[in-house]
Structure 1
Amino acid sequence: MHLLDLDVLRREDVEKILEYAEYFKKNRYNHEKILKDKSIAIIFEKPSTRTRMSFDIAVHELGGHSLIMNQNEIHLGKKESIKDTARVMSRYVDAIVARVYEHKTLEDLAKYGTVPVINALSNLAHPCQILADLLTIKEYKKSFKGKKIAYLGDGNNVCNSLILGSALVGMDMVVATPRGYEPNALNVLKALEIIDEYGEGSLKLTNDPIEAAEDADILYTDVWISMGDEKNLEHVMKIFPPFQINEKLLEYAKDDVIVMHCLPANRGMEITDEVIDGEHSVVYDEAENRLHAQKAIFKFIFEKSSSDIR
């Protein structure tokens, strides 16, 4: 089984992953070593702090061996085709975790390899981050039912996966972006299909940040400028400021609202210091939960892969 985005999961799958994550968090140094005698390749075309640390430590604490390679240490799609890389790596390792520029790179690794592929970030999706986010929301809000989550800013990879995750757990989500910066249309369609299937939750797109923040239980934002896209900074700074999460915007949300950001944050741009360091912020719990969610992902995927073989 591969995890390229959350649309491959069902609600019961998400519930199981969160159950595993809660167990691993409660028993961090006293749990089964499910990766014993397993090696995991972790590829980074893009640099990382939380993703690298959380995956490396997760593999170690699960009893496995991680082999980390950055873009200068692997010929992925350059001197060697992705097809050949996937086939060769599948002979060495038990799973591939990859943080890449193009989502198609992950699709090709999954297509040509014979081991599970986990998306640690692509231009389209960031499923591992969202599973950690759902764990954080569950910790603070206890239940997803009837909760409103508002995402403000750029309809980027985090937003694309968040709309799927929110739909899978039945939350009501409002996405507020400037015109032309809406989330991926196919992900929106998939989320609406999930909502229709389960008969719970909702999804709305708007260009009004106040409408999104009104009575929200969760406010979520991410950077306005993705890595490698800095050339658009001047244009972005003209149209994105109304979508900043600041103390004024907080006044529209519920009194017990939690504020989330997947980090790293451009303080003073998409979120102010007062908010990210304030009483409503849960960003550091959110970051910690990457570790526990990653362990849960490994457990779930290897269980599913084993059952598929049988």
Structure 2
Amino acid sequence: MNFYNKHLLNDFNFKKYEILSLLENVNKLNCLSFFNKKICILNEKQSLRTINSLINVFNLLNLKFTVINNKHNIKKENIKDFSRTLGLLYDYIFIRSNNDNIIKIISKFSGSIVINLLSNGFHPIQSISDLNMLNKKKIIYLFGDFNSNVFRSIIINLSKLNVNIIIFSPKMYWNFIFLKKIFNKKKIIITEKIIISKKKCLIYNDVWFSMGETSNFINKIKLLINFQINKKILKILKIRKIFHCLPCFKNIKIKKINFESELKENIFESNFTFFEKQINKKISIIKSYIILGEKIFFKIF
């Protein structure tokens, strides 16, 4: 199995068997020699964990790469011309962008292989790395605004693996067009009220405010406060673990007013969370993805 000439623009790009191939190869490392492929990290959005996980893998595999942090190119230049220029300079482009359309244009006009590290619409690397620990679990709760990029990605991928999903979200965020596209012939539960189950479950949570989001913070917090993960939720549900797409903004202050965030401080520091393991799995998934794309990067002895 390899991903030769295969973009990863969003979670729709992967079929079920391809996801399973990634998960199976997480802990495998072939004996490889490296070609001189030109690799670029195009970073339009701030990042700590995803970009550094990628750099960690490049260093591990002894791959050379260039990091472009200049937003001027995307904001001021003709995006098609910029894409063609990237294509002349690089074979592989890893990108974090504020706009999914920009990623699509770059993939179309650059001629390079494009990997979406994060966009407003999707976060495939995060969702696939978490799938390694979510796969084969019976019940998974998604808490909060399920229109977030991480939720959108994890819903798409969980639906491919036939996992039972319960979305606990304010009704105004319910996106029926999206749900119909994903669950055309499958059932999904979406509710504004907690469904109590005797079985143990996992909770998947995302930040209420994505980087670069310009919505009305105060109104959004008022809407989402009843969907916060706190001691009350721990008493109602039998929780195994809590997944969270870091960073968690634990202290939100707007106009001198302190607001609650999606995850209570005492929960964030509890044994229910295991963010270190999530980061390590992200590194493993990126490594697995690159190795399975061996026709691009590597020659097997």
- Where in structure 2 are the equivalents of 1:195-214 lying within 5 Å? 196=185, 202-208=187-193, 210-211=194-195
Counterparts of 1:215 and 1:231, CA distance in 2: 37
* SS of aligned partner of 1:240: helix
Q: Per-residue CA shift, 1:209-246, capped at 9, x if unaligned?
A: x1288745210111111222255111012111111111
Matched, 1:75 2:79: no
What amino acid is the match of 1:185? I
Q: Per-residue CA shift, 1:133-152, capped at 9, x if unaligned?
A: 011335xxxx34xx111111
Query: Which residue, 247, 262, 272 being the options, matches 2:245?
Result: 262
Aligned residues: 282
Matched, 1:192 2:183: yes
Show the counterpart of 1:247. Answer: 231
Q: Tell me if the contact between 1:2 and 1:117 (Cα under 8 Å) persists in the aligned partners.
A: yes
Counterparts of 2:225 and 2:26, CA distance in 1: 36
Q: Per-residue CA shift, 1:92-131, capped at 9, x if unaligned?
A: 2221111000110111111112121111111110001001
| TM-score normalised to structure 2 length | 0.85
Q: Per-residue CA shift, 1:51-73, capped at 9, x if unaligned?
A: 1101112122222112111134x
- Where in structure 2 are the equivalents of 1:3-18 lying within 5 Å? 3-18=8-23
Show the counterpart of 1:225. Answer: 209
Show the counterpart of 1:28. Answer: none
Q: Tell me if the contact between 2:196 and 2:236 (Cα under 8 Å) persists in the aligned partners.
A: no
Q: 1:236 to 1:93 in 2, by over 3 A?
A: same
Q: 1:38 to 1:170 in 2, by over 3 A?
A: same
CA-CA distance at 1:249 after TM superposition: 0.6
Show the counterpart of 2:62. Answer: 63
Counterparts of 2:197 and 2:212, CA distance in 1: 29
Query: Which residue, 25, 30, 37 being the options, matches 1:20?
Result: 25
Matched, 1:122 2:119: yes
| TM-score normalised to structure 1 length | 0.83
Counterparts of 1:152 and 1:264, CA distance in 2: 16
Identity %: 26
Higher helix share: 1
Structure 2: which 5+ residue stretches go unaligned?
A: 1-5, 251-259
Query: Which residue, 137, 141, 159 being the options, matches 1:150?
Result: 141
Show the counterpart of 1:91. Answer: 88
Q: Tell me if the contact between 2:167 and 2:190 (Cα under 8 Å) persists in the aligned partners.
A: yes
Show the counterpart of 2:40. Answer: 41
Q: 1:215 to 1:295 in 2, by over 3 A?
A: same
Q: Tell me if the contact between 2:46 and 2:211 (Cα under 8 Å) persists in the aligned partners.
A: no
What amino acid is the match of 2:242? V
Counterparts of 2:214 and 2:199, CA distance in 1: 33
Q: 1:274 to 1:116 in 2, by over 3 A?
A: same
Counterparts of 2:96 and 2:129, CA distance in 1: 16
Q: 1:301 to 1:103 in 2, by over 3 A?
A: farther
What amino acid is the match of 1:20? N
Q: Tell me if the contact between 1:34 and 1:62 (Cα under 8 Å) persists in the aligned partners.
A: no
Counterparts of 2:286 and 2:209, CA distance in 1: 26
Q: Bigger shift: 177-186 or 128-137?
A: 177-186
Q: Tell me if the contact between 2:242 and 2:272 (Cα under 8 Å) persists in the aligned partners.
A: yes
Show the counterpart of 1:27. Answer: none
